[in-house]
Structures are given as structure tokens and as C-alpha cells.
Amino acid sequence: MISRRGLLYALGGPLLAQYEESPGEVPWVPSDDRKIDVMLRMAKVTKDDVVYDLGCGDGRVVIAAAKKTGARGAGIDIDPKRIAEANEAAKRAGVTHLVEFRTQDVFQAQFSDATVVMLYMYRSINERLAPRLFSELKPGSRIVCNQYGIGNRKPEKQWKRGDQKVMMWTVPAR
């Protein structure tokens, strides 16, 4: 498991300006706009999707999905400060009719109505969530990870620029 300082160095550059400890195991480091774009395109998000971001920070991924595609979405974060910021950001973006944010531990959260789940958490946390993701999401749902994969699972799609990565898996038919 990478340390918080290790995460910062792995993420690098301008993102270091935006970092805050969290009551959860992963600090808040926001996804940058370019990667959000890659994540939405990789999952082929449309207005018919329901996009969840588990560990949503200030809600930027779910809000971007709503603004760019009209998709509905939900963000879950353990830090109430982030959820307050997400609600404010959704108002500013004019997407409160499409998105909702909840202060909750992702391990207690319900997300079975998602058709796309976004994750920017450590690999070990993604791995702990994986059994629920692959059993509770409908077949065909996409799981997109920013930077850290799901344990050692081989991704179906991968984007790489330098040390920056985005990976995707599709929930198979049962």
C-alpha cells in the first residue's frame, strides 16, 4: 500500500497544490480535467448512464459527466467538507437535477443502480470493493479507475501518458 506522501509524488506536479487529509484511508487529491475527459470517453458515458464516483471529493467527475453528457450521477465521500463543496459545485454548474452527493463510507454505500463507477482510490481499496462491484452492478456496467487498478486484475482498456493511467473493466454477463 502506497503512503500518502508516495501518492503525492506519484500524482506529481500541479495536483500537489490540491491535497487534503481525509477521515478515510485515501487523501483528497482531485482528478484533473484531462483525465476526467479520458475517463468519460473510455466508459462511453451517455445521457442514459448513471455515473457513481466512490470517494467523489468535490464532485467534479460526476458533475463533468452531467454537464458533458446529461448523465445522472451520485457521488459518495466520507468527508462532509467535500460533500458540501460538491453540492455547491453542482449548483454553480446547474446540474442539481441530475446529481446527488452523500456523506458516507463507500463500504457502507449502495451503488447497484450505477451503470458506470469511477474510482480514484488505492489499489487495495479497489480490490476490497471489487467483489461487490462485480456482483451488484448490472452486466455491461463499466468500472473506471484513475491511476490505481483493482488488485492485479488485467484491465480491458488502458490509457497511459507518462506515469498517468486510466483503466477500465466491464462487468461480465452472469
CB closer to ligand SAM out of 22 and 170 = 22
CB 133 within 8 A of CB 70: no
Indicate the Cα dihedral angle 106, 81, 143, 159, nearest 10°. Answer: -140
Letter string b/e over residues 140-172, b meaning 16 or more CB atoms within 10 A of that residue's CB:
ebbbbbbbbbbeebebeeebeeeebbbbbbebe
CA distance 89 to 65: 13
Taking the complex as a whole, how short is the minimal distance between the CB of residue 60 and ligand SAM, in angstroms? 5
Determine the Cα–Cα distance for residues 102 and 8; give it in Å rounded to an integer.
26
Task: Kindly state the smallest distance separating residue 138's Cβ from ligand SAM, in Å.
Answer: 22
25 versus 170: smaller Cβ distance to ligand SAM: 25
132: closest CA among 107, 159, 155? Answer: 107
| Binding residues vs ligand SAM (CB under 6 A) | 22, 24-26, 28-31, 53, 55-57, 60-61, 76-79, 82, 105-107, 120, 146
Closest residue by beta carbon to ligand SAM: 24
Which CB sits closer to ligand SAM, 92 or 174? 92
From the CB of 30, what's the least distance to ligand SAM, in Å?
4
CB of 118 to ligand SAM, least distance (A): 6
Give whichever of 65 and 106 is closer to ligand SAM, judged by the CB atom.
Answer: 106
Q: Least distance from C-beta 131 to ligand SAM, angstroms? A: 16
* 81 phi, psi to nearest 5 deg: -65, -40
